[in-house]
Amino acid sequence: MNHVHVLSPDIIAKIAAGEVVDRPASALKELLENALDAETRSIEVHLEQAGKVGLAIKDSGTGIAEDDMEQIFQRHATSKISALDDLFRINSLGFRGEALYSIAAVSDITLRSRTKDQDTGWEIHLRGGKKLDLKPVTMPLGTEIEVQELFFNTPARRKFLKSNTTELNQVLNIFIPYTLMYPQVRFKLTHAEKILVDLPPAADFLTRAAESLHLNEGHLILAQQAWDHVPCSARAVLGDINIQRSRRDMQFIFINKRPVQSKTLSFHCNHVYRLIMPEGCAPFFALFIDLPSEDVDVNIHPTKREVKIRDEQALSALIKHMVEHALMTGGSPKQAALPGQPEKTAVPVQQALSAAADERREGTRMSFAEQGEEKPAHHFRITPTEQYSFPSKAMLYSQGNPALIKQEGSLQEKLCRARFIGTFIHKYLLFEADQKLLVIDQHAAQERVTFEQLVCQMEKGQIEVQHLLSPYLLELSTQEMLSWEEARAALEDIGFSSTQFDPETIAIHSYPVLIKDPGKALRDLLSGEDFARAGHENIARRACRSSIMTGDRLNPEQCEFLRKQLLGCRDPFTCPHGRPTLIELKEEFLDKQFLRT
């Protein structure tokens, strides 16, 4: 009995489609690339239920001739290559001829198109890869494609699609990079009749980056360079020290106008930013690199996101030098927020919103960092007040702390008796106890204290809130705005009261007292998925990243207060993210370093 058989064409088509199209975002990627290859000057995308029910795209490109309407839905039908050698000279985004074939195999698709040589356009309708209709239609120059019921005939794949918010974020992750790479093209994206992105043609890459990502153009640096000894040129839009992200969600690399992933280039660029930013802060950058097509292999991955570059290390060295030079010569200084003004000078919220709107109409963009005159004077969260009590041994025992002072000489018992002797580079707090040096990481320690206090307040439903007479105006990216809309009610529950100021900005009216930097904390909260369903500890862990930071100056009283707060924690020796808060250096260790026997 034969155990091996050849799969049917229907199964082969669906398997092949799964390699190219696994969610609405991947279908959009293929259609976007086709439109851009057709030299379009305008792209409009309309989504229903994040593309799961409907995805429509319209471009003003060169169009598709009547004779090619049926041919383009055949597997590996392409006008981009004709011989094997062409694979080594790829200058287009798409070239394999799999996009429309794969999408048509798992959806109901209608394509309309007209070229400049045709008096009328033509429309073709397919369902599950089977042609249903072909007829002439009246339409302008370009192509319109409607994809409906994606994965209607592959329910197993449809079952693994995520929520609309998650799928919409994936769509934006695909859509936004192309808006950066093609500033001369108009891009519009709507979802459920709501405009998410609407970008007119921009004069240059820097302007488009600021508009597309909602960044302050004054905090962006444009760098470009061509090298005589190598056939390579590069352009970069770099964020300066004032643009700091909690994750690497605004880092883009383009090779020959194709958005790609390159661990080597990404590593070197992030390494350069360590010159001006601390660990834990991710910069914004967009690299646009042009290489000879024969030096780039774009055919190593079905989605073409990974490419193979000849002599990638040498290229990375050139890019690293260019980025470093631009940051060191063109960056602006850090714009720090200032202490708040006396309460009598503050204005009501509605008045502040009206004033802000007037300023925006006059072209003055108010960023979070620039509203220092309305920021409360919360320099440090470790100011001793009567609301805190310091734990005694008996109190620690009663709390059931597993690291209690049950034995003389334990680390916690030493910390309880330790004497403060100084600080080192405004980063570490030094204490001595029993001929041992105890070193506390001030940021990790305060994160632990803030985390436990915030979790406790959330569990009791008694979060201490700082109300603002004048709101913070915080610009969000399109993805962050989507997350904020979904998580708005959950944010209210933890003390973040906010309203939408305009399509790109929210106004923060209150935030938890324990949070030092509400703007950064809110971005951290919105950067994770499924915030609305996250538990108290997960929420607090994200929010407490904005605790006292490395480099903040603490006086001896504040250092002592932080030590006592740390002693009251249930888990005092690690921060919420797993790093140690305290290490012990013994006299023997120091003697050994100084060669004392």
Residues 485 and 561 in one domain: no
CA distances to 28, 149, 418, 448 from 413, in Å: 60, 65, 9, 18
DSSP-derived 3-state class of residue 349: helix
**Both 567 and 533 in a single domain?**
no
The alpha carbons of the chain give a radius of gyration, in whole angstroms, of: 29
- The answer to whether residues 40 and 103 belong to one domain is yes
* 401 in the same domain as 520: no
The confidence score (pLDDT) of residue 381 equals 37
Number of domains in the chain: 4
The answer to whether 245 touches 236, Cβ cutoff 8 Å, is: no
pLDDT score recorded for residue 421: 80
Tens of pLDDT along the chain (597 residues) come to 566 655 666 666 555 555 568 899 999 999 999 999 889 999 999 999 999 999 999 999 999 988 888 888 887 666 555 455 544 555 556 555 578 888 998 999 999 999 999 989 999 999 998 999 999 999 999 999 999 999 998 888 888 898 888 899 999 999 999 999 999 999 999 998 899 999 999 999 999 999 999 999 989 999 999 988 888 999 999 998 888 888 888 999 999 998 998 889 999 999 999 888 877 788 999 999 999 888 887 666 666 667 788 888 889 999 999 999 998 888 766 654 433 333 333 333 344 334 444 444 443 333 333 333 333 333 333 333 333 333 343 333 334 344 444 455 566 777 777 778 888 887 888 888 877 788 888 888 888 888 888 788 877 777 788 888 888 888 888 888 888 888 888 788 778 888 888 888 888 898 887 777 788 878 877 876 556 556 666 677 666 665 556 567 788 888 888 888 887 777 777 777 667 778 877 777 878 878 776
Residue 102 falls inside a structural domain: yes
pTM: 0.70
pLDDT at position 401: 45
Structural tokens at position 45 = 């995308």
What is the domain extent for residue 569?
Answer: 393-449+554-593
CATH number at residue 501: 3.30.1370.100
Question: Using an 8 Å Cβ cutoff, are 412 and 572 in contact?
Answer: yes
User: Cα(113)–Cα(43) distance, rounded to whole angstroms?
Assistant: 14
Same-domain check for residues 146 and 37: yes
At residue 308's C-alpha, the angle toward residues 302 and 313, to 5°, is: 150
Residues 188 and 310 in one domain: no
pLDDT at 94: 53
Question: What is the model's pLDDT at position 511?
Answer: 85
DSSP single-letter state for residue 427 = T
Residue 403: count of CB within 10 angstroms of its CB = 15
Instruction: Look up residue 398 and give its two tokens.
Output: 């009663």
How many Å from the N-terminal Cα to the C-terminal Cα in the chain? 81
* 57 DSSP β-pair partners: 45, 145
User: Which letter does DSSP use for residue 402 in this model?
Assistant: T
Nearest-angstrom CA–CA distance, 58 and 62? 12
**What CATH number does the domain containing 101 carry?**
3.30.565.10
What pLDDT, on the 0 to 100 scale, is given for residue 96? 52
DSSP 151-197: TTT-HHHHHT---HHHHHHHHHHHHHHHHHH-TTSEEEEEETTEEEE
